[in-house]
Amino acid sequence: MLLTISGLPGSGTTTVSRILSQKHGLEIVSAGEVFRSLAKDYGMTLAEFGELAESDDSIDLKIDELQKDIARTRDNIILEGRLAGHMAACALKVWIKAPVEVRVRRIVARESGSFEQKLNETKEREASEAIRYSSIYGIDIGDLSVYDLVIDSMKWDQFRVADIISCAIECFLNNDPGRL
CB 60 within 8 A of CB 131: no
Residue pLDDT, tens place only, 108-131: 999 989 999 999 999 998 998 899
Q: How many CA atoms lie within 13 A of 72 on its CB side?
A: 7
Domains, the chain, in order of start with CATH, read: 2-173 (3.40.50.300)
Share of the chain above pLDDT 70, in %: 97
| pLDDT for residue 156 | 96
For the residues 132-156, what does the mean pLDDT come to?
95
d(CA 24, CA 17): 10
Instruction: For residues 40 and 57, give the distance between their C-alpha atoms in angstroms, rounded to a whole number.
Output: 18
In the structure, what pLDDT confidence band is assigned to residue 175 with cuts at 50, 70 and 90? confident
Q: Which residue has the higher pLDDT, 154 or 175?
A: 154
Q: What is the pLDDT of residues 43-87, one digit of tens each?
A: 998 888 888 888 888 888 888 887 788 878 888 999 999 999 998
The stretch 153-161 carries a mean pLDDT of 97
Q: What is the pLDDT of residue 180?
A: 47
Least confident among 61-65, 82-86, 136-140, 176-180: 176-180
For 18, half-sphere exposure in the C-beta direction (CA atoms, 13 angstrom radius) is: 4
pTM: 0.86
Residues 6+ apart with CB under 8 A from 149: 92, 93, 94, 95, 164, 165, 168
Per-residue confidence (pLDDT) for residue 74, from 0 to 100: 83
